[in-house]
Amino acid sequence: GYSAFRPWPNTTLKWKLNNQIPTFGREKTRIHLQEAFDDWARYAPLKFREAVGDEQAEFSISFNEGNHDDGFPFDGAGGTLAHAFFPKDGKVHFDSAEEWTDKYDGFGYNFRLVASHEIGHALGLAHSYDQTALMYPFYQLMQPKDLLPKDDRDGIRALY
Ligand code: TQI
Ligand code: CA
Ligand code: ZN
Ligand code: ZN
């Protein structure tokens, strides 16, 4: 839809994965990241793809540990899981000390869900007071088939 101000003006946005963690290999990480971007792309005029070669990417994604030179050090297992910055920064960082998982069984933190939440921030969404929302600021397991909740759909449509 029409919006006077798209936080990211371009329709096609690229992402780049800078590193990976041994417990959660590169290929799986890439697949889950693309899924997390597509969670949003389904409900707004946005397309996401992985940057190829040394192509410029709007979103720079990495796993980091402890102090990593952006003023927001990670804190080991628990506490902060990940962070992202509002447009047009594009950095999305995951705490490599967390127990990341791609299962939905309640053990560890589901990478796809946390990535979708962080991408929401990187696209310009703040937290929601709606307890069913992905942008609600408390970790809760949801099934990928239920993504995105209505509040988040409304949010992304309002921005783009
Ligand atoms: N990281 C916070 C978050 O992403 C960092 C943060 C706080 C933030 N306020 C912000 C980022 C405002 C952008 C704008 O919310 S976190 C969750 C949830 C975190 C928390 O590690 O606490 C998720 C990361 F929602 F479960 F609490 C991902 Cl999904
Ligand atoms: Ca942590
Ligand atoms: Zn960081
Ligand atoms: Zn958040």
What CATH number does residue 117 fall under?
3.40.390.10
C-alpha to C-alpha distance for 109 and 79, rounded to whole angstroms: 12
Is 114 a pocket residue for ligand 1 (Cβ < 6 Å)? yes
Is 115 a pocket residue for ligand 1 (Cβ < 6 Å)? no
- Please, what sign has the CA dihedral across residues 17, 144, 85, 59? positive
Residue 28 lies in a domain: yes
The pLDDT of residue 2 is above 90:
no
Stretch 10-18: mean pLDDT: 98
The range of the structural domain enclosing residue 30 comes to: 12-66+80-159
Residue 3 lies in a domain: no
Is 14 a pocket residue for ligand 1 (Cβ < 6 Å)? no
Query: Which protein residue's CA is at the shortest distance from atom 6 of ligand 1?
Result: 83
Taking the CA of 115 as reference, the closest ligand is 1
Q: pLDDT tens-digit profile of 47-86?
A: 999 999 999 999 999 999 999 999 999 999 999 999 999 9
The HSE-up count of residue 82 (CA atoms within 13 Å, CB side) is 28
Question: Annotated catalytic, 98?
Answer: no
Beta strands 109-110; 59-64: pairing state: unpaired
Is 78 a pocket residue for ligand 1 (Cβ < 6 Å)? no
Residue 75 lies in a domain: no
Residue 147 lies in a domain: yes
Report DSSP state, residue 22: T
Residue 120 lies in a domain: yes
Among residues 68, 150, 77, 159, the alpha carbon closest in space to that of 121 is found at 159
The HSE-up count of residue 49 (CA atoms within 13 Å, CB side) is 9
- What is the predicted pLDDT for the residue at 3? 59
C-alpha to C-alpha distance for 80 and 149, rounded to whole angstroms: 23
Residue 71 lies in a domain: no
Residue 131 lies in a domain: yes
- Look up tokens 């990241």; give the residue: 33
Angstrom distances, CA of residue 73 to CA of 99, 100, 109, 116: 18, 18, 19, 21
Taking the CA of 140 as reference, the closest ligand is 1
Residue 139 lies in a domain: yes
The pLDDT of residue 130 is above 50:
yes
- What is the predicted pLDDT for the residue at 12? 98
Q: Report the number of distinct structural domains present in the chain.
A: 1
| Widest CA span in the chain | 43
Q: Are 110 and 137 in contact (CB under 8 A)?
A: no
Is the interface score ipTM higher than 0.95?
A: yes
C-alpha to C-alpha distance for 131 and 138, rounded to whole angstroms: 9
